[in-house]
Chain A
């Protein structure tokens, strides 16, 4: 299968907690793109809080970007997965206080940006770490930009405690930081919250991509509604309320939500059972748009699964 573009994200890892919850273990890793395949990662040790990129995201309860790499983790990862990675992003997933997994995304060459927005002492979000390619004006102004609660994608993520997905933000007229003639044209933006305990933990990962190096073949954001389990022998019931997709044809509004497709139902079923992020291969699941695999990240508010972000490759 040949992909039309080099994806901005070249490598994906999913770490899940061990049975006793003391460590994270690498559940799956995958190369993205033409060579989409399980990455060879034999003997990767489990990590505790603070160890490696995944452990650091877990300990800090914050999205993490690793680009300057004194420990040469990035080089090691690049060698292991056989592709050059410019940076590694990690986003932890918590259900109440419990770590449910960490998703690690390896970025290759491409146009776009990844930013971690963190809450500061006056309750505004400021960039704590940023990775930019082809966006010099955007990078400059981002250093001085703050988003109060509700402002911009980061502020909306904070208010909603839910991921946000924006198609062609440059066309929206409110793409405030895009003022220069940067080589990159932002065609998609996703904001991902880190929720912990009962709500927002103070960190948002914002990913922005150019049409030439998209984040994924398609990205879907599912809004979910969970009813708690009636007893300990039953799983909670999770319904798909609406779908927002980078591909407009796949959108369903809340007013006339289409019935979930089989692949969506299957992913929801697994996430409801495990409460952890996971990768799904086309061999096991009929994914749309000729996708080779899908990465599904659950988001919780308290105990309830409220959203799922699905990246299709």
Chain B
């Protein structure tokens, strides 16, 4: 098995937080996923199911409880420039221009480059996100969409092995969202960066991804199933929308989200029942068994 076929490996990933009763509650449990080099994988699931928890662990921003995260054969032990993150809010430094915001990371990643080289890298990536004429503007002088373009340029300019996108278009209008989806796909087609996208939008997931990972509801959220999206790259939106299989994939993903919503309360109730500890008169501890739903 080549390292290219297991470029990003998430094995048995678990994240637990203590509750007020001194118990560890796993929000994400035994999460397994492998991405090939250059693949784009979306993670969909309900709000609060643990999608961003997985992403922040992969970014090295959130310590894991157990399991392993491996990128190109190296275990993730903390943040690093090999993994760039674009959050929903671009979080630009307001006293710096777009160019200076991008340069901030470039200086760290290319410490031995000349000033000219670093400047050219910043200008190149700002221009491919469509900001060639606005790179010396301050964040307050830019729209939300433009600020997010800076955030994307800042991430890509680091030449990361893995790009992590945490609902990057969540605060944008539909037109800007579609525009930025194409900007990112265009970059990924050129740079072949292995990418994970957290999203609630099933159309976005299908259009952008090679595979969609459906996450079950938390607590103990995990992979429900993975759906391969076989459309060829580079993708043309109209061709994807007209593909005869498109609405089959869409219906499957929507049905998954609806079913997760419908059974959210029962899953939480089942989890709480399992966690419930009944103390008998002699203080013996009895944990009640619960039948878990199972996916097929």
Contacts and interface: CB of A to CB of B under 8 A. Distances in A.
Contact of B255 (A146, A150, A179): A179
B295 A153 contact: yes
A152 interface: yes
Given A173-B263, A189-B296, A208-B296, A124 B256 contact: no
Contacts of A154: 296
B293 A172 contact: yes
A122 B32 contact: no
B295 A144 contact: no
Nearest to B212: A144
B224 A144 contact: no
A154 B249 CA distance: 21
A60 to B, nearest CB: 20
A145 B225 contact: yes
Interface stretch (B69-77, B145-153, B227-235): B227-235
Pick the 5 closest A-B CB pairs, nearest first: A173-B263, A179-B255, A172-B293, A174-B295, A148-B32
A122 B294 contact: no
B228 A150 contact: no
- Per DSSP, are chain B's interface residues mostly helix, strand or loop, or mixed? mixed
Nearest to A151: B223
B224 A152 contact: yes
A173 B292 CA distance: 11
B34 A122 contact: yes
Interface of B: 1, 5-6, 30, 32-34, 36, 211, 214, 216, 222-230, 245, 248-249, 251-252, 254-256, 259-260, 262-263, 266-267, 289, 293-296
A148 to B, nearest CB: 4
17 contacts: A122-B34, A141-B248, A141-B249, A144-B229, A146-B227, A147-B223, A148-B33, A152-B296, A166-B294, A169-B295, A173-B263, A173-B266, A176-B255, A176-B296, A180-B251, A206-B296, A255-B289
Interface of A: 121-124, 137, 140-141, 144-156, 159, 164, 166, 169, 172-180, 186, 189, 206, 208, 253-255
Contacts, number: 123
Nearest to B29: A150
Contacts of A175: 259, 295-296
A174 B216 contact: yes
Given A172-B295, A173-B263, A151 B289 contact: no
Given A145-B225, A178-B255, 11 more contacts: A123-B34, A124-B226, A144-B228, A145-B227, A148-B32, A169-B296, A173-B260, A173-B293, A176-B214, A176-B255, A180-B251
Given A141-B252, A149-B32, A166-B294, A174 B224 contact: yes
